[in-house]
Amino acid sequence: MMICSLRSQSVRPLHGSEFVSGSKSLIPTKRSSLLPPLPARKISRQLTLSLSRPLHISSVESFGSSGTSARKDDGLIKCEAYEADRSEAAASAAGSDVAKRVKIGIYFATWWALNVVFNIYNKKVLNAYPYPWLTSTLSLATGSLMMLISWATRIAETPKTDFEFWKTLFPVAVAHTIGHVAATVSMSKVAVSFTHIIKSGEPAFSVLVSRFLLGETFPASVYLSLVPIIGGCALAAVTELNFNMIGFMGAMISNLAFVFRNIFSKRGMKGKSVSGMNYYACLSMLSLVILTPFAIAVEGPQMWAAGFQKALSDIGPQIVWWMAAQSVFYHLYNQVSYMSLDEISPLTFSIGNTMKRISVIVSSIIIFHTPVQPVNALGAAIAVLGTFLYSQAKQ
Ligand code: 3PG
């Protein structure tokens, strides 16, 4: 513990952690919430403090009305402080790093698990009730409702948005809607694993769009990593036993749409104070508004009602639970993925997304007994490996 004296020429509020290590003259900049307000008459004077080591302020006399020091009037403030302990600081930095890693690990594990469950229920519903436009709409509607309830009951903080926010969100929502419907249409026509193998080609779309539409350039290693991605996807597609053109094109369109969604999101989220969770909630709501008229036009209530009667007689009332599960899990996995995007770089996010596809591909093959030829599995493995090489090349 050491004692030092501050000559109060201009007393500005100070905070120990705001001092710069090694600086000879330390002038704090921000108001600490830990310190009481200063007497108004001292505000205009200058503070100087000479130190050679960083200090943590432990007590300050004459700050605030309760100060008892007799030296208030001669301009001196007695301040007790102790030298900052470097090992203490390093340990707390390492501790917060570990805590952050654990938090991201939990986000990733939750995101993948929720996504696997969503994909399973989504496919079960689509097998029994093949109306992808309606099921896509229901997932957005359920998510929107969940978030409205969370805001109303103050489980989640209501975001402060303005017209500008919704205007910037619009292109993101258009791309999200297209990508979501296209992926669901794809899964209604082909195996879940096949949709996700094609969707693992998303980095290739990202590079091609960035290169040819935005004029961005990349190192040669990035372009080279596209060879296994595209080659692997192509090999998996031509050897797919249940190949279907709509299923294939749906996954391809979804890839393209999500690349645009990510580009627009990045621009739209810059400088915005809306959290990842609320950003996704607003995205769901706007996408729901965009999608509903199209869903009615493409499929419509008559087809939905007739299809529902059939599904009910084939599956029983359980179909309702499956639909509820696919909708709730769709919202939850997206919400968690946007929450993790708040914490990590887009690159780490895309690596996480690829890992997610591996878990979805493997679990759906096991659960739905999807027939897989060795050469087909090889194509999928090459595509996924290419995505890893891509993420390494982009670092
Ligand atoms: C959807 O329905 O939006 C897709 O299943 C999304 O796929 P992804 O989040 O795995 O890219």
Which has the higher per-residue pLDDT, 365 or 393? 365
Both tokens of residue 82?
Answer: 């102790």
Ligand 1 nearest-atom number relative to CA 356? 10
pLDDT in tens, 185-196: 999 999 999 999
Confidence of residue 68 (pLDDT cuts 50, 70, 90): very low
Cβ of 339 less than 6 Å from ligand 1: no
For tokens 């996807």, the residue is: 233
What percent of the chain has a predicted confidence (pLDDT) above 90? 57
CA of 180 to the centre of ligand 1 (A): 6
Phi, psi of 58, rounded to the nearest 5 degrees:
-105, -30
The C-alpha atoms of residue 225 and residue 300 are separated, in whole angstroms, by 43
CA–CA distance, 8 with 351 (Å, rounded to integer): 54
pLDDT tens digits along 362-373? 999 999 999 999
List alpha helices for 154-219, DSSP H: 163-189, 192-199, 202-212
Q: What pLDDT digit, counting tens, does each position of 161-176 carry?
A: 999 999 999 999 999 9
State the pairing for strand pair 76-83/46-48: unpaired
Residue 379's pLDDT band, with cuts at 50, 70 and 90, is very high
Distance CA 172, CA 49 (A): 52
Q: What is the pTM of this model?
A: 0.75
Kindly give the distance from the C-alpha atom of residue 287 to the centroid of ligand 1, in angstroms, as a whole number. Answer: 14
| Half-sphere exposure for 329 (CA within 13 Å, toward CB) | 20
Compute, in angstroms, the gap from residue 225 CA to the centroid of ligand 1.
Answer: 23
Q: Is the pLDDT of residue 64 over 60?
A: no
The verdict on the CB of residue 184 being under 6 Å from ligand 1 is yes
Q: Ligand 1 centre and the CA of 135: distance in Å?
A: 13
For ligand 1, atom 5: residue with the closest CA: 183
* pLDDT number for residue 74: 45
Mean pLDDT of 311-336: 97
Q: What is the pLDDT of residue 86?
A: 60
Question: Looking at ligand 1, which residue's alpha carbon is closest to its atom 9?
Answer: 334
Q: What is the pLDDT of residue 89?
A: 65
Is the CB of 183 inside a 6 Å radius of any atom of ligand 1?
A: yes
The pair of three-digit structure tokens given for residue 197, joined into one six-digit string: 């193998």
CA of 42 to the centre of ligand 1 (A): 60
Q: Candidates 180, 193, 333, 357: which one to mutate for ligand 1, based on the most atoms within 8 Å of Cβ? A: 180
Look at ligand 1, atom 11, and give the residue with the nearest C-alpha.
199
Q: What is the pLDDT of residue 351?
A: 76
Distances (CA, A) of 227 to 212, 220, 354: 17, 11, 17
Stretch (H or E) spanning 47:
strand 46-48
The angle at the Cα of 213, spanning 208 to 214, to the nearest 5 degrees, equals 100
| Residue 57 confidence (pLDDT) above 60 | no
* Mean pLDDT (the chain, rounded): 80
**CA of 190: how far to CAs of 58, 93, 178, 296, 347, in Å?**
66, 48, 18, 23, 29
What is the structure's pLDDT at 45? 40
Rounded (10°) CA dihedral 382, 387, 389, 392: -160
Whether the predicted pLDDT of 257 surpasses 50? yes
Residue nearest ligand 1's atom 1 by CA: 180
Ligand 1 centroid, distance to 390 Cα (angstroms): 20
DSSP string, 295-315: HHHHTHHHHHHHHHHHHHHHH
